[in-house]
Amino acid sequence: MEKRYLSIKHAAKMLGVTPLTLRNWDKKGLLTAYRNPLNNYRVYRMDQIQVLLRRMETTKGSTQGRKIDIYQI
């Protein structure tokens, strides 16, 4: 089974977040980044991104633990 890796830019685009968010998740241990042996750039496994996407989709409808911005006019 072939492992497929994504650059930080492509992984961020798939998840709908910025590359900086992925770096922060890596520091917190929420998502594991691997390093490209040639240039030491962060890369992410496709299967981990897909699992995270599924988790995000299941919690999308739930407002528990999420903040909602309320603006007053």
pLDDT digits (tens, 9 = 90+) for 50-67: 988 888 888 766 655 555
Give CA–CA dist 70/28, Å, rounded: 28
**pLDDT tens-digit profile of 20-60?**
999 999 999 888 999 999 999 999 999 999 988 888 888 76
Residue 5's alpha-carbon distances to 2, 12, 39, 50, in angstroms, are 10, 13, 14, 12
Domain 5-59 classification at class level: mainly alpha
Q: What is the largest CA-CA distance in the chain?
A: 56
More confident call, 73 vs 36: 36
pTM of the model: 0.71
Q: Copy the structure tokens of residue 12.
A: 């961020």
Give the three-class secondary structure for 30: coil
Give CA–CA dist 38/51, Å, rounded: 27
